[in-house]
Amino acid sequence: MVETTVKTLNSLVNGTSLPGEAGTVRGVDPARNAETGPEFTLLAESQVEEATRAAAEAFESYRRTDPETRSAFLRTAADRLEESGEAIVESVQIETGLPEGRARGELARTVGQLRLFARVAEAGDYLGVRIEPALPERTPLPRPDLRQRKLPLGPVAVFGASNFPLAFSVGGGDTASALAAGCPVVFKAHNAHPGTAQLVGRAITQAVEENGLHPGTFSLLYGRGSAVGQALVRDPRIKAVGFTGSRSGGTSLMETAAAREVPIPVYAEMSSINPIFLLPSAVRGDRKKLAADFVASLNGSAGQLCTAPGLLLVPSGEDGDDFVRQVVEELTSTSGLTMLTSGICNARVEGEERLRGVSGVEAAAQGQAGSTENAPAPAVYSTDVETFLSTPELSDEIFGAVCLIIRYDSDERLLDFVDGLEGQLTATLHLDAEDGDDAAAAGRLLERLELTVGRILFNGWPTGVDVGDAIVHGGPYPATSDGRSTSVGTLAIERFLRPVAYQNVPEGLRPTELRDENPWDLVRRVDGEYQLPES
Ligand code: NAP
């Protein structure tokens, strides 16, 4: 079924609407497999430089904005997003099949992220100011006056994911952190939620205008990844890339960025299977509740979360057997939810078929298919550590509500398992910390896991990421392209900055943040000691 459309909408480039020359796309309601909303024109590769030229021009003034101006801009963007909240929530539900509660929660998180980065811009500690005043009398050599601050890299290309149409999309964490750092953003809209992208893009464009910033500070491009996305990353004016999505997409952009005459960093968050370790004391406790909580984490958002539990390690023995029976019971009465697109649903179904075909893997439990299109039944399979370690494809992410239970018979096997694990966003341990044996085993696991994982949790579930100062949403490859950073939380700003040292620069010529009188009231490290602002 195809609904009639009322109008055609375009990319938002340099403050204006730019019609694309490479066809059109419409949103699709995945619950009905039906096109919905207006048409969006797609840009041709050759049109990308209208946005990158404008972004490069904008960089000249935007990078010099003071903390107040930058934070006011981010707060205005948050306000405008909130004002369009009802339309955004409706659009998210139609284009992604995600329920209203999830859409509202994600909107609140996105608005909160923009305000958080407004505070980061205002505080200015990300500038990392370090001052070592001259020591002319030092022997054997005098010390020069050395001052360091961090500068924004330049225009950043951002690619959003299908599974977070707000928090990892147009106004999401990559955009907020790049803008807070002083980098203009050119955003490649995800074609699975074009209407939502337009609403958020307009809110940010309006904030740019209201705050008197150069219109090239933010642009939103509709186009095919293979054409517009690749052209964007090849463009010499783009200085860094933020990406969330598939491993194939992320690695392709890494290759494109590395092949440029001047290579640039790509911060891609890609694939993770998030192992959960149930230690023996955990399955001696309330197994029914543990099983219910696991199934809720597995099936939430149809399993389309980068932190969804893909591996569950369960001890062999009667308690473990009974826990698996509780999972079977819980899952049997659980229905599948609408997935984001028919393509993602098909990939999930094919992934499950491949899993079923692996020797040593058995079906353990299956839920019910949902009542809409694209809502396959959640499923759990079972194997042992030996099979997992000898079958590389079992490490591949299946994006959706499919989990592999791995039975283990000793702590040593768990350590072997961790040694064979690829980089992960999360790992979770369940145990009774009063149990001495399990506490000791958990200590050994922790020491190994911290080398492979971005976030380690105890007695909880990895789905649900708290956005703040201490969070890490990252991890070694293939969880991300660069395990030294995070794509969620305030530390994300570091990805878009570069330190520069200024030696013996006269006070009158020093950048504002490095002047003796500290006009921006910054936290600074002076002669090895942190100094807090006086106000
Ligand atoms: P995706 O297919 O990687 O797409 C993300 C964005 O990148 C889209 O705008 C896409 O544009 C663009 N893109 C993808 N490949 C590209 C390439 N080679 N060159 C240039 N641009 C490219 O991710 P998705 O649509 O969000 O989800 C698809 C699959 O990714 C899922 O089935 C799942 O396996 C995985 N996934 C993983 C996570 C995670 O966090 N671990 C999150 C989301 C998705 P076009 O669509 O126009 O190509």
- Give the model confidence (pLDDT) of 364-393 as tens digits: 999 999 999 999 999 999 999 999 999 999
| CA of 341 relative to ligand 1 center, distance in Å | 12
Specify whether 227 is located in the same domain as 284.
no
Cis peptide before 533 (omega within 30 of 0): no
- Using alpha carbons only, give the angle 43, 46, 49 rounded to the nearest 5 degrees: 90
pLDDT at 1: 38
* The pLDDT of residue 26: 96
Contact 261, 285 (CB under 8 A): no
pLDDT (mean) for 506-530: 97
Cα(176) to centroid of ligand 1, in Å? 20
CB 222 within 8 A of CB 40: yes
- Residue 256 maps to a domain: yes
Same domain? For 192 and 282 the reply is: no
Interatomic CA distance for residues 337 and 400, integer angstroms: 10
| 1 falls within a domain | no
Closest approach atom of ligand 1 to CA 225: 21
502 lies in some domain: no
- Assign residue 453 a region (left: φ > 0; alpha: ψ between -120 and 50; beta: otherwise): beta
Residues 266 and 302 in one domain: no
Do 231 and 329 lie in one domain? The reply is no
Which of 264-278, 344-358, 521-535 is least confident?
Answer: 521-535
- Whether residue 416 is predicted with pLDDT greater than 80 in this model: the reply is yes
Pair 229, 314 in one domain: no
Segment among 4-13, 407-416, 494-503 with least mean pLDDT: 4-13
Q: Is the CB of 245 under 6 A from ligand 1?
A: yes
The tens digit of pLDDT for each residue in 116-131 reads 999 999 999 999 999 9
Residues 61 and 144 in one domain: yes
Residue 6 binned pLDDT confidence (cut-offs 50, 70, 90):
low
Q: Please report the DSSP string for 92-131 in residue order.
A: HHHHH---HHHHHHHHHHHHHHHHHHHHHHHH-GGG--EE
Ligand 1, atom 29, lies closest to the CA of 246
What are residue 313's DSSP bridge partners? 277, 406
Rounded mean pLDDT of the chain?
97
Confidence check: pLDDT of 350 > 70 = yes
Report the relative pairing of strands 8-9 and 266-269 from DSSP bridges: unpaired
**Same domain (yes/no): 195, 165:** yes
- CATH number (domain holding residue 41): 3.40.605.10
Task: Please list the active-site residues.
Answer: 269, 306
Claim to verify: residue 290 and residue 403 sit in the same structural domain: yes
In a domain, 506, yes or no: no
Task: Judge whether residue 3 has pLDDT over 60.
Answer: no
- State if residue 65 touches ligand 1 by the CB under 6 angstroms criterion: no
Final residue belonging to a domain, choices 458, 478, 503:
458
Domain membership of residue 120 (yes or no) is: yes
- CATH no. for residue 427? 3.40.309.10
Per-residue pLDDT, 2: 41
> Residue 244 domain-assigned?
yes
Pick from 408, 438, 458: which residue ends a domain? 458
Q: Do 362 and 377 lie in a common domain?
A: yes
Please report the pLDDT score of residue 363 as a whole number: 97
Please, which pLDDT band fits residue 139 given cuts at 50, 70 and 90? very high
> Does any domain span residue 500?
no
Domain assignment of residue 120, given as a range: 8-270+487-494
Among residues 264, 301, 247, 251, which one has the least CA distance to residue 425?
247
Q: What is the mean pLDDT of residues 268-286?
A: 97
Pocket test for ligand 1, best of 95, 168, 246 (most atoms within 8 A of CB): 246
Q: Domain end: 458, 477, 503, which one?
A: 458
Distance separating alpha carbons of residues 243 and 81, to the nearest angstrom: 22
- The structural domain count of the chain equals 2
Residue 535: per-residue pLDDT: 62
503 belongs to a structural domain: no
Indicate whether 243 and 279 sit together in one domain: no
Instruction: Give the rounded percent of residues in the chain with a pLDDT score beyond 90.
Output: 98
Closest C-alpha residue for ligand 1 atom 34: 399
pLDDT at 505 > cutoff 90? yes
- Do 397 and 290 belong to one domain? yes
Amino acid at 408: Y
Looking from the CA of residue 246, the nearest atom of ligand 1 is 30
- CA trace torsion 360, 361, 364, 365 (10° rounding): -160
Distance 270 CA to ligand 1 centre (A): 9
**In a shared domain, residues 169 and 148:** yes
Question: What contacts 105, CB < 8 A, 6 or more positions away?
Answer: none
